[in-house]
Structures are given as C-alpha cells and as structure tokens.
C-alpha cells in the first residue's frame, strides 16, 4: 500500500533553515505529482507547494515563494522541501501528500504522510 514518511522537522530560530524529506513507497513515485501541505497549530490546511511528476514544474504559495524550494529525486523515491528564512508563522505540521495523477489540473491528494512538526521560535 502507499506509504509516505516525512522527516526533518524540528525547532529552528527565525531566519534559519530546515530541509524536510518525504520517502514514498508502495506506488510508482515517478508518475505522480507530489505536494507539501501545512497546518499551523489549531488551524486549517494550506498547500505550500506542488511539484510535477518529473520535477520540471513547481508552484508555490505566495506566503513561501522565494524562501522555500521543492525538489524530488525519483531514483530514490524522495521528495524534499528546503525552507530558508524561516518565520514564526511557518510553524506548522508539514504533510507530504501524493497527487492522484500526473496531471497538473487534477491535483487532489489521495495519500498523506503523518506529518512532521516545524517550530520556528527563538
């Protein structure tokens, strides 16, 4: 069955950097778009970034554009999120989520990891 496992969360000071990873298994990783969705404590869901199945296209929420970079290594079935210039408002659980298809226009999420907590605080 599909499994997604995030890692790399932790406590970081404002202005710092962190790299999240997501390991995918149980499906053909290289044929699906992938996403990072975050949830601030007690709040709703925000799609932070999406990356196409081959890594050639990415989209970012305005709140993170220019600070976060998504990438993937299909040879390793891995998804990454490089987060720079972190702010307290970036504090959230970050979920890795698998798109239902390779299409850039059918981007809902049929599998989610359990999430990794990122806390930005001094």
Partner 1 sequence: EIVMTQSPATLSVSPGGRVTLSCRASQTISSNLAWYQQRPGQAPRLLIYGASTRATGVPARFSGSGYGTEFTLTIAGLQSEDFAVYYCQFYNKWPLTFGQGTKVEIK
Interface with partner 1, residue 84, by CB under 8 A: no
Distances (CA, A) of 47 to 28, 38, 121: 22, 6, 22
Identify which range of 17-25, 73-81, 84-92, 99-107 contacts partner 1 by CB under 8 A: 99-107
Residues 15-44 binding partner 1 (CB under 8 A) are 35, 37, 44
Q: d(Cα 51, Cα 48) in Å, to the nearest integer?
A: 11
- Site size toward partner 1, by CB under 8 A: 22
Interface with partner 1, residue 115, by CB under 8 A: yes
Q: Cβ 42 to partner 1, closest distance in Å?
A: 11
Q: Among 32, 52, 37, which residue's Cα sits nearest to residue 92? A: 37
């Amino acid at each position: 069955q599909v499994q997604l496992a995030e890692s790399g969360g932790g406590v970081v000071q404002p202005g710092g950097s962190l790299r999240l990873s997501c390991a995918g298994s149980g499906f053909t990783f290289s044929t699906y778009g992938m996403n990072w969705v975050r949830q601030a404590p007690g709040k709703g869901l925000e799609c932070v970034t999406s990356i196409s199945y081959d890594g050639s296209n990415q989209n970012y929420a305005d709140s993170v554009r220019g600070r976060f970079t998504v990438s993937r290594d299909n040879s390793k079935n891995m998804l990454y999120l490089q987060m720079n210039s972190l702010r307290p408002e970036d504090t959230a659980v970050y979920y890795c989520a698998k798109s239902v298809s390779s299409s850039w226009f059918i981007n809902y999420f049929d599998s989610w990891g359990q999430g990794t907590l990122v806390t930005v605080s001094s």
